[in-house]
Structure formats: structure tokens, C-alpha cells
Amino acid sequence: MSKKKEGHHGGAWKVAYADFTTAMMALFLCLWLASQDQKIKDAVERAFRNPFSSVTKESVGIIPNKEASSTYKQEGRFTSVSAVEMETMRRISDDLSKLLKQQDTEQTSVQIEVTSDGLRINIFDRSQKPIFNPDTALFTDYGAWVFSTLAWEISRYSTFHIELEGHTASEAGSQKPQVKSQTSDLRLPGSDLWDLSTERANAARRKLIQSGVAEVQICKVSGYADTVPMPGYAPDSEINRRVTVLVKLKESVDALPDKPETMDTTTPPNNVPDDTPND
């Protein structure tokens, strides 16, 4: 009596085995994640919430890695910002250039530079386009518009730190300017270039806060008088009359947003005042 040839078995067992393997892998991942410290849990959560801002400064991946930081230091490579944060800075720079209608000329009123720490924005008090009234901390219409426009852009990114620096040009002779305060009609007695630069930096701080920047973002306001001229220019050049706005990234990894920030949909300040003299 001949034996019947057995038929071909189905592949249902392969599907069941694949499901079992997947379930076991998911179980092991959950057990591994549950055994990690809070910093790694937060990093994983941040990666799922916002993959584009999950990279930290300590690691090339989403998990903070002290060994990676040590390797960078041993090789002499130090990074202040991640690639994502640097791209954000470049986007802010481009947006500000468009809003302020900047052109690549020597007479530009605003100079925007992307640095390793963030953004360096120089607002020049030129005679053709003055930011302040002469020898005062009182804004011209154009100066008020520039800082309001700057505040509108910066206020959309609440994780940045802001530092303000006031600078002036050297005065010919021994005559000292009588600085007029923004908050008073009286001229400050015995005032000099230090008072002028400091008061202008403080006036910029007030204008930024008034125009939407959070007060906690501004961490430093300084006046340097004529001690830090622009590179390549004489100390008495008018280009040294400026307010420098430093937009810096917070050093802590915890400062990275847990979720994408809601972009401000309001419109920027109005166009350049009509009474502003052209370059």
C-alpha cells in the first residue's frame, strides 16, 4: 500500500512567529526605557514630540552622551549650537534682513551676523539715518521702528537669551555730551560717554520689552562708551555709535522646547517711517 505524498504546509506559522518576535522586542524596549534615568526618558519623549529639535549638544543622537562630549573636547572641537539651532538663527537673520529691507551697502543701518553663539545685530546711529536724537537716548521715529521690528521677530523665539551693548564714538576735544534721558526731559548733570552708551542700551531694552520681548529673556545691559570701536574704523567714526543686540542660545539642554513653538501670526510693525531720510 503506497503512502500518500503530504501536501505543502501553509505559512501561517511564520506570521505568528513574526508577531511574537515584534511583541518581545517591544517588551524589551519598554523594560529598558523604564530602567533609564529621567534625563534619557525626557530625551526620548522630546524626540517623539518634535524630531527636528531632539538633537542635543552632548551627543550626535537624541540620547545625551558624556563620552561623545569628551571625544569632541579631546579632538579640539567645541560646538555652541546644534545644526538645527544654527539653521534657526540663519532663518531669523534672513527674515530680519527682509523686514528691515537691508542691502549690502556701506551705509546700511543694521548689520546682522550669525556667530557660533547665535546672532550679533548692530544697529548704527548714522547721521543720514539716526536711531537716536543727538546726544540723547530718545529714539527717532526710524529708531523706534527698527527696534519694534526687531522685537517682533525675536519675541517669537522665547528660548533665546538677549544681551544689549551700547557704544559711542570718541568726541573731539574734552567737551562732554549732555545726555538726555528717555524717561525724563531733564539732561543728566555731569553725564559723559559712559552714561550715553548705557542709557541708550537701556532705552533699547525698554523698547524691546514694550514691543513684545519677554523681560526674562534680557539678561545683560551694558554701556562701553568709546572703548570698543568697530574693527577697521577710527575711534571717532560715526559707525561706532551703535547698539549691539546679542541673541544667544541657552546653554542648558533643558532649554530645548518640549514641543514646537506656536509661531506668532500677527503682522510686523508698519513700514519705515516716511520722514526717515534715505541713504
Dump pLDDT digits (tens) for 44-99. Answer: 777 776 655 544 544 445 445 555 444 444 444 444 456 667 777 888 888 888 88
**Angle of helix 141-154 relative to helix 193-210, nearest 10 degrees?**
60
C-alpha cell at 170: 570718541
Dump pLDDT digits (tens) for 224-249. Answer: 999 999 999 999 999 999 999 999 87
Residue with C-alpha cell 521715529? 141
DSSP-assigned beta bridge partners for residue 67:
none
Distance CA 92, CA 154 (A): 8
Listed residue (224, 207, 223, 226) closest to 215, CA to CA? 207
Q: Are strands 242-249 and 118-124 parallel, antiparallel or unpaired?
A: antiparallel
Residue 36 pLDDT grade (very low, low, confident, very high; cuts 50, 70, 90): confident
Dump pLDDT digits (tens) for 249-261. Answer: 765 334 434 444 4
> Is residue 39 pLDDT above 50, yes or no?
yes
Residue 43 CB burial class (10 angstroms; 0-12, 13-18, ≥19): buried
Which residues belong to CATH 3.30.1330.60 in the chain?
83-255
Lowest mean pLDDT among 38-42, 129-133, 169-173: 169-173
Of the ranges 37-46, 77-86, 195-204, 259-268, which is most confident? 195-204
C-alpha cell at 262: 506656536
> Is residue 42 pLDDT above 60, yes or no?
yes
Per-residue pLDDT, 62? 45
DSSP one-letter string for 46-58: HHHH-GGG---TT
Distance CA 140, CA 218 (A): 23
The one-letter amino acid code at 14 reads K
Per-residue pLDDT, 274? 54
More confident residue, 2 or 184: 2
Which bin fits 118, alpha (ψ -120 to 50), beta or left (φ > 0)?
Answer: left
167 and 244 Cβ atoms separated by less than 8 Å? yes
C-alpha cell at 135: 546726544
Q: Cβ of 36: how many Cβ atoms within 10 Å?
A: 13
Distance CA 204, CA 19 (A): 63
DSSP 254: G
> Is residue 122 pLDDT above 90, yes or no?
yes
104 and 165 Cβ atoms separated by less than 8 Å? no
> Is residue 209 pLDDT above 90, yes or no?
yes
Alpha-helical (H) ranges within 211-240 are none
Nearest 10 degrees: CA dihedral of 139, 143, 145, 146? -140
83-255 folds as 60s Ribosomal Protein L30; Chain: A; (3.30.1330)
> Is residue 5 pLDDT above 60, yes or no?
no
Q: What is the sign, positive or negative, of the torsion defined by CA atoms of 194, 196, 202, 204?
A: negative
Dump pLDDT digits (tens) for 14-28. Answer: 888 899 999 999 999
Q: Please, what's the largest Cα pairwise distance for the chain?
A: 126
Listed residue (253, 276, 234, 218) closest to 53, CA to CA? 253
